[in-house]
Structure 1
Amino acid sequence: MDPNKQALLVLLVAALSFEGAHCIKCFDCTSVNNSMCLDPTVYDAETLQKYLPSVECHAGLFTAATHEDFFCRKIVQAVLHKNHDSEVRVTRGCGYVRHRKDCYKADNEDHLETVCQCFKDDCNGAATLRNVGVAATVLTAAAVLGLSFKL
């Protein structure tokens, strides 16, 4: 076989067998700095792109994560203040250490939180995650506050 044709064939096979890297895109925000982070589903695509754009998740300098390891995460916290009303904070971003459950709750001394993970572009702004996370955290916070006032 002609050396040029052989080289072209090798390049063609290599190009066809190469799997491109895909980075998942996630909303990356906190409601402390951007109130749109509380519920991105109420905004149109143009407004979201301008004020709450998605980011591509990339491995940081100190992580061993690959592009396939990343996912989107949403954290809803009910922060319990002793001397004034509690507040709800939402944080959305990329993650790379997966939990065995898609959503789980954590009950800490000064806050309650619901953490959800998902695996499609911009899924951490989805209504399903919002309903599970916010409702569960707010109901749990209300129950804890109700119990604490009775003690």
Structure 2
Amino acid sequence: MSPNTMLLSITILLSMVYKSTAIYCFYCNSANNSACIDPTKFDDEMRGRIIPIINCDTAVPRVNEYAFFCRKIVQTIYHPHKDSELRVTRGCGWVRHEKDCYRADNRDHLETVCQCFSDHCNSAESLNSTTASALFVALAVCLYFYR
């Protein structure tokens, strides 16, 4: 095995190693913090001042042995005598769903719930770690064979 091939193999393997001891998530509710609707509108400094970020392992009592993750819930709440209301909640989750995102349509509200597994990932839509790893491997292979 050539040194370049070995280096590429080690790089690919190391890119797939994922270890986390704590996860940090945005923690807000648009009912009392309108910035919670879309945190990506703000630069990092401003976002850090107006939207709390919490360490799920220390802020939420552990209810089971499962690892925490970040969650974002978008609800459209239907009111009988006024316009519907958009509500966004961001925080920590501890019971995983089989899908990264799912929808629930109830009589009085429509709800989309998304879960993600890296720091600050509940700010907006993001790539999951498997997709990011696959893209990295594809790029590395293309660069290796292109030269």
Q: Same fold (TM over 0.5)?
A: yes
> Alignment partner for residue 111 of structure 1, among 99, 104, 109?
109
Coordinate RMSD, CA, aligned: 2.0
Normalised TM-score (structure 1): 0.66
1:65 aligns with 2:65: yes
Describe the superposition over 1:95-138 as per-residue Cα deviations: whole angstroms up to 9, x where unpaired: 01000000000011110100000011000002449xxxxxxxxx
- Cα displacement (A) at 1:65: 3.2
Partner secondary structure for residue 112 of structure 2: strand
Normalised TM-score (structure 2): 0.68
> Alignment partner for residue 118 of structure 2, among 117, 120, 132?
120
Amino acid at match of 1:54: I
Partner secondary structure for residue 90 of structure 1: strand
State the partner residue of 1:33.
32
% identical aligned pairs: 56
Q: What count of residue pairs does the alignment treat as equivalent?
A: 108
The alpha-carbon distance between structure 1 residues 86 and 70, as it changes in their structure 2 partners (threshold 3 A), is same
Query: In structure 2, how many angstroms separate the alpha carbons of the residues matched to 1:126 and 1:85?
Result: 25
Moved over 2 A (4+): 59-62, 126-129
Query: In structure 2, how many angstroms separate the alpha carbons of the residues matched to 1:23 and 1:108?
Result: 34
Partner secondary structure for residue 58 of structure 1: helix
Looking at CA atoms only, which structure, 1 or 2, has the larger radius of gyration?
Answer: 1
Which runs of no fewer than 5 residues in structure 2 stay unpaired? 1-18, 128-147
Partner secondary structure for residue 83 of structure 1: coil
Which runs of no fewer than 5 residues in structure 1 stay unpaired? 1-19, 130-151
